[in-house]
Amino acid sequence: MVDPEITTQAYAQIRAMSGTNSPLLLDVRDSWEIETASISGAVCIPMGEITARAHTELDPDQPTVVLCHHGARSLSVAMWLRGQGFDHVQSLSGGIDQWSRTVDPSIPLY
Protein backbone atom coordinates (compact mmCIF):
# COMPACT_ATOMS: atom_id res chain seq x y z
CA MET A 1 0.00 0.00 0.00
CA VAL A 2 1.24 3.51 -0.81
CA ASP A 3 1.95 6.20 1.80
CA PRO A 4 -1.24 7.91 3.03
CA GLU A 5 -0.05 11.34 1.86
CA ILE A 6 1.80 12.74 -1.15
CA THR A 7 3.46 16.14 -1.33
CA THR A 8 2.39 18.73 -3.87
CA GLN A 9 5.83 18.60 -5.48
CA ALA A 10 5.76 14.81 -5.85
CA TYR A 11 2.24 14.85 -7.27
CA ALA A 12 3.14 17.67 -9.69
CA GLN A 13 6.06 15.57 -10.98
CA ILE A 14 3.87 12.49 -11.42
CA ARG A 15 1.22 14.57 -13.18
CA ALA A 16 3.78 16.13 -15.52
CA MET A 17 5.38 12.78 -16.39
CA SER A 18 2.18 10.74 -16.65
CA GLY A 19 0.01 13.12 -18.66
CA THR A 20 -3.39 11.56 -19.25
CA ASN A 21 -2.33 8.45 -17.30
CA SER A 22 -1.76 10.36 -14.06
CA PRO A 23 -3.63 9.31 -10.92
CA LEU A 24 -7.25 10.36 -10.60
CA LEU A 25 -7.50 13.66 -8.72
CA LEU A 26 -10.51 13.49 -6.41
CA ASP A 27 -11.63 16.88 -5.08
CA VAL A 28 -13.75 16.49 -1.92
CA ARG A 29 -14.37 20.19 -1.26
CA ASP A 30 -17.75 21.92 -1.38
CA SER A 31 -18.97 23.36 -4.67
CA TRP A 32 -18.33 26.99 -3.66
CA GLU A 33 -14.70 26.10 -2.94
CA ILE A 34 -14.29 24.42 -6.31
CA GLU A 35 -15.79 27.47 -8.01
CA THR A 36 -13.26 29.65 -6.16
CA ALA A 37 -10.14 27.58 -6.96
CA SER A 38 -9.65 24.27 -8.73
CA ILE A 39 -7.13 22.04 -10.47
CA SER A 40 -8.07 21.00 -13.99
CA GLY A 41 -9.11 17.42 -14.53
CA ALA A 42 -10.31 16.80 -10.99
CA VAL A 43 -13.34 14.64 -10.30
CA CYS A 44 -15.51 16.41 -7.73
CA ILE A 45 -17.35 14.46 -5.04
CA PRO A 46 -18.01 16.50 -1.88
CA MET A 47 -16.80 14.85 1.32
CA GLY A 48 -20.36 14.41 2.58
CA GLU A 49 -21.24 12.33 -0.49
CA ILE A 50 -18.20 10.02 -0.53
CA THR A 51 -19.79 7.15 1.39
CA ALA A 52 -22.79 7.09 -0.95
CA ARG A 53 -20.88 7.48 -4.21
CA ALA A 54 -17.42 5.93 -3.77
CA HIS A 55 -18.26 2.34 -4.63
CA THR A 56 -20.25 3.26 -7.75
CA GLU A 57 -18.10 6.09 -9.13
CA LEU A 58 -14.52 5.26 -8.15
CA ASP A 59 -12.27 2.36 -9.18
CA PRO A 60 -10.56 0.77 -6.15
CA ASP A 61 -7.63 -0.26 -8.34
CA GLN A 62 -6.99 3.20 -9.83
CA PRO A 63 -4.29 5.34 -8.21
CA THR A 64 -6.12 8.30 -6.68
CA VAL A 65 -5.01 11.54 -5.02
CA VAL A 66 -7.61 13.19 -2.78
CA LEU A 67 -7.68 16.99 -2.58
CA CYS A 68 -9.25 19.48 -0.17
CA HIS A 69 -8.34 22.98 1.06
CA HIS A 70 -5.51 22.24 3.51
CA GLY A 71 -5.27 18.43 3.60
CA ALA A 72 -7.34 17.46 6.66
CA ARG A 73 -10.58 16.46 4.91
CA SER A 74 -8.68 14.75 2.11
CA LEU A 75 -6.65 12.69 4.59
CA SER A 76 -9.85 11.64 6.34
CA VAL A 77 -11.43 10.62 3.03
CA ALA A 78 -8.25 8.86 1.88
CA MET A 79 -8.08 6.82 5.09
CA TRP A 80 -11.78 5.89 4.81
CA LEU A 81 -11.30 4.81 1.19
CA ARG A 82 -8.24 2.76 2.15
CA GLY A 83 -10.38 1.04 4.77
CA GLN A 84 -12.87 0.22 2.02
CA GLY A 85 -10.22 -1.52 -0.10
CA PHE A 86 -8.98 1.42 -2.19
CA ASP A 87 -5.29 0.61 -1.64
CA HIS A 88 -3.84 3.16 -4.07
CA VAL A 89 -5.30 6.32 -2.49
CA GLN A 90 -3.28 9.21 -1.11
CA SER A 91 -4.13 12.61 0.30
CA LEU A 92 -2.49 15.70 -1.21
CA SER A 93 -0.56 17.12 1.74
CA GLY A 94 -1.38 20.80 2.26
CA GLY A 95 -4.28 20.66 -0.18
CA ILE A 96 -5.02 23.18 -2.89
CA ASP A 97 -3.62 25.92 -0.66
CA GLN A 98 -0.16 24.32 -0.78
CA TRP A 99 -0.58 23.57 -4.51
CA SER A 100 -1.29 27.27 -5.15
CA ARG A 101 1.72 28.33 -3.09
CA THR A 102 4.28 25.87 -4.49
CA VAL A 103 3.12 24.55 -7.88
CA ASP A 104 0.60 26.84 -9.59
CA PRO A 105 0.34 30.40 -8.24
CA SER A 106 -2.36 31.19 -10.83
CA ILE A 107 -4.83 29.27 -8.65
CA PRO A 108 -6.37 31.73 -6.17
CA LEU A 109 -5.81 31.37 -2.46
CA TYR A 110 -8.88 31.55 -0.23
CA distance 92 to 23: 12
Instruction: Report pLDDT digits (tens) over 40-53.
Output: 999 999 999 999 99
At the topology level, CATH places domain 5-102 in: Oxidized Rhodanese; domain 1 (3.40.250)
CA distance 66 to 95: 9
Q: How confident is the model at residue 19 (pLDDT cuts 50, 70, 90)?
A: confident
Instruction: Report pLDDT digits (tens) over 69-98.
Output: 999 999 999 999 999 999 999 999 999 999
Residue of 68, 77, 81, 92 marked active site: 68
Above 80 in pLDDT, residue 20? no
Q: Mean of the pLDDT values across residues 29-46?
A: 97
Taking CA atoms, 23 is separated from 32, 103, 108, in Å, by 24, 17, 23
Is 68 an annotated catalytic residue? Answer: yes
pTM of the model: 0.95
